[in-house]
Chains A and B, each alone.
Chain A
Amino acid sequence: MSDAPVTAPELLEVVDQPTDETAAERTPAVRAERLTKRYGSLLAVNHLDLVVPRGSVFGLIGPNGAGKSTTFAMMATLLRPTSGRITVMGADPAHKPRTVRRRMGYMPDNLGVYDNLRVDEYLEFFAASYGIHRSEWPALVDGLLELVDLSVKRTTMVNSLSRGMKQRLSLARALVHDPELLILDEPASGLDPRARVELRELLKTLNGMGKTIVISSHILAELEEMCTDIAILEAGKLLAAGPPREILERLGGARTVRVRFASGVTESFTVADDHEQTQLLRRLVVDEQRDVVEFVEESGGLEQLFMTITEGIVQ
């Protein structure tokens, strides 16, 4: 225990510490309050308020320069906020970086790997860097490689892996110390469709294991399917946050439903929300007794919403 005097932020942290197991479960994985990061005159993150619930898959969406990576860097103990406050698993990353690092796995957007190592040596190196005892390495590496489906590449040199495989290896690296929270910055960037689907399935598996996942991606359709919660950022500001469906209903406005009948006729209807959509279906099928063969919501979902509420501001 350090003899250094306790600072105000540390006191706040102590206050923020959960007192029992139930309270720990209630503490969000990440909580940002008026979080601000400024680089000179550039305001990268502007008074961001964010809550990432435990066990969620949280998508951070925004155009380039929106402040996603900066927010991730502050979560991952790499940057200190200019003002405001952030806690990760109940601890302040800037004041208790090692506490946070023990419970958080971070995968940056740049894919950096050591080319002259074998896949198993790469993971062993990071196991050693997290202070995991040597005797635990073989089982740990086996488990991780099986999880990311790279068992057959165990003794392959890292430089001969495909980009998708390197991405999965990076994810395995972020999981080496079995963190409760995973912060993944653009993990699907540069992957082909098959590798993206594999990554998505892997993230679902990890979420099923109880891990909280915070992820950013430009492929919004994927996030819509995978995320339990999203936040939309632009120019460092939070535009919207919550479950995707809720945000769509709240901000997305009317949606179009395309209906094809047995006669071959296709008609489009405008509805405001899920309730109206159900009412429409009931009216067509039950009240009007029409032979509906296709009933499709035509709205662009998250992508359309994203285009609607962002203005394309680049800082």
Chain B
Amino acid sequence: MSVNPVLARELRERMRTGRAFVVLGVFLSMLILTVYLVYQGSATTGQIEIDLARQTRLGRDLYEWVLFVMLALVLFFVPGLTAGAVAGERERQTLLPLQVTLLRPRSIFVGKVLAAMSFLVLLLVAALPVTMVAYLLGGIRLFDGLIGIGIVLVVAVLLTVMIAALSTLAKRVQTATLLSYGFTALLVLLGPLLYFSMRVADGSSGSDLENPPAAVLTFNPIAIVADATAGERIDDGGNPLRWARNELVNAKSMAGDTWFSWFPDDDFGAQFRFVDGRRDGFPAWGVGTIALTLLATFMSFLAIRRLRTPAETER
């Protein structure tokens, strides 16, 4: 079996420049800094060594904060690292020679996406030991740690596919980068903005319809990771993932008994979902992941069409 030539070339070029190592260094430094700050923040009470419950809570906090920062870094780095995938080929005028080889447009696109994904896998695998500090403190199970990394990886991969697809639209890397960051911002903000706008509009109209469809929140990358990993506590303690999860819970609660009822009412008081282990119905992260997968598939289809030569497209 031969390796996709585009993938092999991309990896060779990527690892040859210092940029890859700088990104890896920044990524790990930020995660380690997060662990340090959360740990210091909790340790100031001086009781951490003797209070097992507090230590467990610290482990859980660490886990959720590290995942949140990891996700934020992924949302920041993926557009920057992937936007030039095809736009870069156009800008440096290397796409034409590639298009007249025997490589098919889908091979070119798949090679580009796999190269970007390979680097992401490297980032997330390198971050695994940092995530597992929480396991040492007893806040999470080993399985929870793997789930956390796994769901961030799924979101990262889907985002990579979408950004690589967007890259086929631009002729210059700068344009592609702007487009990619704009799209990522839209992906993160559109759902919450829509949801809260609808809630305000419903409330101000004086009607009883203060239950906008909570499904609009589910295709948000933060909501997906939050739903798959965050603990179920009313008090979010300033943790963004838990806050996002609580908002999902509230949204579901206000939406009434809809297909959105993946979250049993009697679990509201539970400290942590994975400790409790119960879940009913179809999860929000599943809904969100399916929505993003469909979007990424559609965008890939369009991108592969864009990579065809005009002679092939006009057929």
**Residue B16, interface by CB 8 Å:** yes
B101 and A134: CB pair below 8 A? no
Q: Of the candidates A97, A104, A108, A116, which one forms a contact with B13 in the assembled complex, judged by CB atoms under 8 Å apart?
A: A116
The answer to whether B101 touches A117 (Cβ under 8 A) is no
Expressed in whole angstroms, the minimum distance between the Cβ of A4 and any Cβ of chain B is: 12
Q: Which residue of A lies closest to B17 (CB)?
A: A116
Q: Which residues of A contact B92 (CB under 8 A)?
A: 112-115
The minimal Cβ–Cβ distance linking A32 to chain B, given in whole angstroms, is 15
Count of A residues near B, CB < 8 Å?
35
B100 and A121 contacting across the interface, CB-CB below 8 Å = no
User: Which residues of B1-50 have CB atoms within 8 Å of chain A's CB atoms?
Assistant: 2, 5-6, 8-9, 12-13, 16-17
A36 adjacent to chain B (CB < 8 Å): no
Chain B proximity of A87: nearest CB distance (Å): 14
Q: Is A128 an interface residue (CB 8 A)?
A: yes
Cα A74 to Cα B102 in complex, Å, equals 17
B99 touches A108 (CB 8 A): no
Q: Do A126 and B101 have beta carbons less than 8 Å apart?
A: yes
Q: Does B312 touch A at the CB level, under 8 Å?
A: yes
Q: Find residues 120-137 in chain A having any chain B CB closer than 8 Å to their own CB.
A: 121, 125-126, 128-131, 134
**CB atoms of A114 and B5 under 8 A apart:** no
Which of A59-67, A77-85, A293-301, A305-313 participates in binding chain B?
A77-85
Out of A111, A114, A128, which one reaches B2, CB within 8 Å?
A: A128
Residue from A113, A115, A129, A170 with most neighbouring chain B CB atoms (10 Å): A129
Evaluate whether A78 and B311 lie within 8 angstroms (CB atoms) in the complex, with A114-B13, A121-B12, A131-B102 already known. yes
Question: B310 within 8 Å of A by Cβ?
Answer: yes
- Chain B, residues 37-68, CB within 8 Å of chain A (1/0): the string is 00000000000000000000000000000000
Contact of B175 with A by CB under 8 A: no
What is the bound-complex CA distance between A121 and B5, given in angstroms? 11
Check A173 against B311 for contact (C-beta < 8 Å). Answer: no
A79 contact set on B, CB distance < 8 A: 309-311
Do A117 and B93 have beta carbons less than 8 Å apart? no
A170 to B102, CA, bound (A): 17
Q: Give the distance in Å from the alpha carbon of A107 to the alpha carbon of B315 in the complex.
A: 24
Q: Is A98 an interface residue (CB 8 A)?
A: yes
Roughly how many angstroms separate A98 CA and B101 CA in the complex, as a whole number?
8
Q: List 26 A-B contacts (CB under 8 A).
A: A77-B309, A80-B310, A93-B311, A94-B311, A98-B102, A102-B102, A104-B100, A106-B96, A106-B100, A108-B96, A108-B97, A110-B93, A110-B96, A112-B94, A112-B96, A112-B97, A114-B13, A114-B92, A114-B94, A115-B92, A116-B16, A117-B9, A117-B12, A128-B2, A129-B103, A130-B101
Given contacts A79-B311, A121-B9, 11 further A-B contacts (CB under 8 A): A78-B99, A78-B311, A79-B310, A80-B314, A80-B315, A111-B93, A112-B96, A114-B9, A116-B17, A117-B13, A129-B98
Binding site for B on A (CB under 8 A): 74, 76-80, 93-94, 97-98, 101-102, 104, 106-108, 110-117, 121, 125-126, 128-131, 134, 170, 173-174
Residues of B within 8 A of A (CB): 2, 5-6, 8-9, 12-13, 16-17, 92-103, 309-312, 314-315
